[in-house]
């Protein structure tokens, strides 16, 4: 095999992020985007004409092809797990967009299927690869802020009624898996977990206050981390005009505040700002746009994925890592549904 040959399943908005990253990486790596498939053949043909690759008649044709080594799954969330399992059974390595699955049963089955078929899977959590996120994790985990007291994220996004009306899957439990947290908020939750560490318990209230959808458009969550620190998650798609994500990390000795991936405050008792910390601000309009993320942010994670195949090693974000934010969101929904605090270990054991 001279090159890793990659295909894309699902030719909606996010597929362009994957195509861009693969084409950029192909300039220095032995990889190639060779085709795409979609349940709507016309969408696949339009996408493939843009990138000069093959449009497969069906997803099954792509998975059966000996000319495909790996795939990106860029469909609506409710199809992620089943398509990933189909790909695994065909021996294809897998990149799956967030969330990798939307139920505990799907998560467990997907983990087992990848293991049984000896394929590599990575779930998109591209924020973990960014230098500022890794620097914040190093500070928190390395004790630069002293004993950690709080770790919070506020994700007050805006999605219009028209956004939900554009398709029959958005805002549904069956195909979106959830709302402000499972769809729009999962990257912020993953970033929070990556920096603060595992959660011990959650108590949540999730409500549909502004949109005519099945799932939550407004949620508030109280966390206790395994470290003993406390935290808050707020997520919305209901707040106009929408705002960038805000992270607060507070220790006994200091505070780090981030706006999306940007540092906006770094104060440690008795010390100046570290020389490697630069203060910048996020795009204020990104929070109300589905396409508000930097297209280049997928490149480091896809680089790690392809290297993991070539080097026969696990990717940085494998199945176990990729499911962490989903497990937490499912526990949040359980707490909101029952009105009770949910212990994460007990919740995992029930699954």
User: Is the pLDDT confidence value at 289 over 90?
Assistant: no
Domains of the chain: 4-127+297-318 (3.40.50.720), 128-289+325-350 (3.30.360.10)
Phi, psi of 67 (to 5 degrees): -95, 10
Query: pLDDT category, 216, cuts 50, 70, 90?
Result: very high
327 pLDDT more than 90: yes
Over range 170-184, report the average pLDDT.
97
- Determine whether 99 is exposed, middle or buried from the number of CB atoms within 10 Å of its CB (0-12, 13-18, 19+): buried
pLDDT value of residue 295: 86
pLDDT at 337 over 80: yes
Per-residue confidence at 49, pLDDT binned at 50, 70, 90? very high
pLDDT at 351: 72
């Amino acid at each position: 095999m001279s090159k890793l040959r990659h295909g894309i399943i699902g030719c909606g908005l996010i597929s362009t992020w994957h195509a861009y990253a693969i084409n950029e990486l192909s300039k220095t790596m032995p990889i190639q985007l060779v085709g795409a498939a979609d349940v709507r053949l016309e969408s696949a043909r339009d996408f493939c004409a843009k990138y000069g690759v093959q449009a497969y008649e069906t997803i099954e044709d792509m998975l059966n092809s000996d000319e495909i080594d790996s795939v990106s799954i860029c469909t609506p969330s409710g199809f992620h797990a089943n398509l990933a399992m189909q790909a695994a059974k065909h021996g294809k390595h897998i990149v799956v967009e967030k969330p990798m699955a939307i139920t505990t049963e799907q998560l467990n089955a997907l983990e087992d299927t990848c293991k049984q078929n000896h394929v590599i899977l990575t779930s998109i959590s591209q924020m973990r690869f960014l230098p500022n996120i890794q620097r914040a994790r190093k500070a928190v985990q390395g004790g630069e802020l002293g004993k950690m007291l709080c770790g919070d994220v506020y994700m007050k996004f805006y999605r219009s009624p028209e956004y939900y009306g554009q398709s029959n899957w958005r805002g549904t439990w069956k195909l979106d898996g959830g709302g402000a947290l499972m769809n729009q908020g999962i990257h912020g939750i993953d970033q929070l977990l990556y920096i603060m560490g595992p959660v011990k318990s959650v108590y949540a209230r999730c409500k549909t206050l502004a949109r005519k959808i099945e799932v939550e458009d407004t949620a508030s969550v109280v966390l206790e981390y395994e470290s003993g620190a406390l935290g808050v998650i707020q997520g919305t798609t209901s707040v106009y005009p929408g705002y960038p994500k805000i992270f607060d990390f507070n220790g006994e000795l200091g505070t780090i505040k981030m706006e999306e991936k940007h540092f906006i405050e770094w104060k440690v008792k008795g010390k100046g700002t570290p020389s490697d910390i630069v203060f910048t601000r996020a795009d204020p309009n990104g929070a109300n746009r589905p396409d508000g993320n930097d297209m280049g942010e997928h490149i480091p994670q896809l680089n790690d994925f392809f290297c993991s195949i070539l080097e026969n090693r696990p990717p940085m974000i494998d199945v176990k890592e990729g499911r962490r934010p989903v497990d937490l969101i499912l526990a949040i929904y359980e707490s909101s549904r029952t009105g009770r605090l949910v212990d994460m270990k007990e919740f995992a054991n029930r699954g």
